[in-house]
């Protein structure tokens, strides 16, 4: 080992030592070293609804990649993309700088003229859910298409699939873009069959659902494209970051890559030139013969790449993902079991195709389909008959320093961005039905955390706080 390698090894050894002393509060709750982070003080220690969970491995990976100073997406990114694709059982994955960018990229890829009659064009309609996060819908509008909002089921938080046919308009409806809300797969059997029957694109927003399964197959592997987010509250993190997954069609992967990388036609990876051995041998369109292929642009694209340092962190996080997912499921089950006697005040979320929860597991409908959720959060819905409203429960949780959130934007058509838009352009989007379910979710629902950093003491305090509040209101 030469002097520089010895020096790097010593830097990384000290990095791990530093991380173990400074970042122990970010260890998984199951890690015995978590205890050195300090005592949990009920009512004083903040319990986040989500957060980063990592150890020395991620810090060492980040420092190691920084020392190599590749910086832009490179060898770590290529490895991460392969490993993520293997995890999701898809053909390939494309790393980007955020989940929101992933959604933008997925829609943009479908606007390529190379797709012929199936190209998304301005005015084409894309079916989506009314209740959710705005960046599932914003790219549809940003590409000049028309979102068609379907109502959401307050129990599953996913779309009411019975409205799909009502939403469909031959020759105008071109795609469906839906999120697996809070880690709960939407009814993929119905949606996939609907898309196949009508020749529609399907984009799965899998940002909340990494590690979820539907009929023993990972979510994110059913559609034509799917997306991930690696923002800190999600199932794993790169700090910022996201991905577009390509389950089968390699041509869609090439299109997504083009839009990610400025719209260029060249597929040479960063740091490598002339992999086609014809860099100056093309005659394309109105360009001069032999124009440098590195500077030929097929699309009006973006620059949405993350850093290689982020990919290095992600590779370590991906190794821990099975444990993270298991912890989320266990924490959800603890909360559900210990809050089960509050049924007169609260309704709780159900996986798609489940009809009821029991201490022995879920009861299922007769379809034969099953959802296995990698929960993003624990959703509660205050009943209309309860002696309190959602706001009072939220204020109680805030006072107890227990992190909580609404279901993101709630019914998006009620948000200022959308009400202003429809006033200016009455045909900007279309609504199917009265969206009563989405309104109920927006009015009565909230969720608390299940992420792997929650300790038994934290979970017990969350349960005690909610139990005490509900009983006092009686």
Active site residues: 234
In terms of DSSP bridges, do strands 173-179 and 201-205 run parallel, antiparallel, or are they unpaired?
A: parallel
Identify which of 433, 355, 438, 436 has the alpha carbon closest to the alpha carbon of residue 181.
438
Rounded Cα distance between 176 and 194, Å, is: 10
Residue in this structure with the two tokens 């199951």, named with its chain if needed: 30
Residue in this structure with the two tokens 């980063």, named with its chain if needed: 52
Rounded Cα distance between 234 and 224, Å, is: 23
Identify which of 447, 436, 443, 330 has the alpha carbon closest to the alpha carbon of residue 380.
447
DSSP 34-73: GGGG----TTTS-B-SS-----HHHHHHHHHHHHHT--BS
SS3 199: coil
Assigned token pair, 103:
């959604």
- E strands, 257-394, where? 346-348, 354-358, 361-364, 371-372, 378-382
Identify which of 199, 163, 203, 151 has the alpha carbon closest to the alpha carbon of residue 180.
203
Residue 286: C-alpha distances to residues 139, 281, 289, 426 (Å): 30, 14, 9, 39
Distance of CA 380 to the CA centre of its chain: 20
SS3 146: strand
CB 404 within 8 A of CB 394: yes
Rounded Cα distance between 17 and 297, Å, is: 47
Helix (H) or strand (E) holding 458: helix 456-472
CB 227 within 8 A of CB 188: no
Any residues with CB less than 8 A from the CB of 10 and at least 6 apart, and which?
Answer: none
């Amino acid at each position: 080992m030469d002097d520089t390698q010895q020096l790097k090894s010593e830097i990384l050894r000290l990095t791990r030592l530093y991380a173990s002393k400074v970042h122990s509060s970010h260890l998984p709750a199951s890690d015995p070293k978590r205890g050195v982070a300090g005592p949990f003080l009920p009512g004083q220690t903040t319990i986040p609804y989500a957060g980063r969970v990592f150890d020395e491995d991620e810090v060492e990976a980040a420092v190691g990649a920084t020392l190599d100073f590749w910086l832009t997406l490179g060898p770590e990114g290529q490895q991460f993309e392969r490993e993520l694709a293997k995890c999701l059982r898809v053909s390939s994955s494309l790393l980007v700088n955020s989940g929101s960018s992933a959604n933008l990229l997925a829609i943009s890829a479908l606007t390529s003229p190379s797709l012929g009659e199936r190209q998304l064009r301005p005015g084409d309609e894309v079916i989506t859910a009314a209740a959710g996060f705005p960046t599932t819908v914003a790219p549809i509008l940003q590409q000049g298409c028309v979102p068609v909002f379907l109502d959401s089921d307050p129990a599953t938080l996913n779309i009411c699939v019975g409205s799909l046919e009502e939403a469909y308009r031959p020759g105008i409806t071109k795609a469906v873009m839906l999120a697996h809300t809070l880690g709960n797969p939407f009814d993929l059997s119905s949606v996939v069959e609907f898309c196949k029957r009508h020749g529609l694109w399907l984009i799965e927003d899998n940002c909340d659902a990494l590690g979820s399964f539907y009929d023993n197959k990972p979510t994110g592997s059913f559609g034509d494209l799917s997306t991930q987010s690696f923002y800190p509250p999600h199932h794993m993190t790169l700090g910022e970051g996201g991905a577009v997954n390509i389950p089968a069609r390699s041509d869609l992967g090439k299109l997504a890559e083009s839009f990610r990388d400025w719209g260029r036609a060249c597929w040479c990876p960063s740091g490598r030139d002339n992999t086609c051995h014809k860099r100056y041998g093309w005659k394309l369109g109105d360009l001069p013969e032999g124009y440098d292929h590195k500077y030929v642009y097929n699309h009006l694209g973006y620059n949405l790449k993350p850093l290689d340092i982020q990919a290095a962190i992600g590779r370590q996080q991906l190794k821990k993902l099975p444990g993270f997912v298991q912890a989320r499921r266990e924490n959800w089950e603890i909360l559900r079991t210990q809050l089960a006697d509050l049924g007169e005040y609260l309704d709780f979320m159900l996986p798609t195709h489940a009809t009821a929860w029991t201490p022995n597991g879920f009861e299922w409908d007769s379809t034969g389909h099953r959802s296995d959720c990698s929960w993003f959060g624990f959703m509660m819905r205050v009943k209309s008959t309860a002696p309190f409203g959602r706001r009072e429960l939220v204020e109680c949780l805030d006072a107890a320093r227990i992190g909580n959130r609404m279901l993101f934007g709630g019914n998006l058509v009620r948000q200022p961005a959308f009400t202003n838009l429809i006033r200016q352009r009455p045909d900007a989007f279309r609504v199917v039905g009265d969206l009563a379910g989405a309104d109920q979710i927006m009015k009565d629902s909230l969720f608390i955390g299940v992420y792997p950093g929650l300790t038994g003491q934290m979970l017990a305090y969350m349960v005690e706080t909610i139990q005490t509040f509900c009983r006092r209101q009686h």
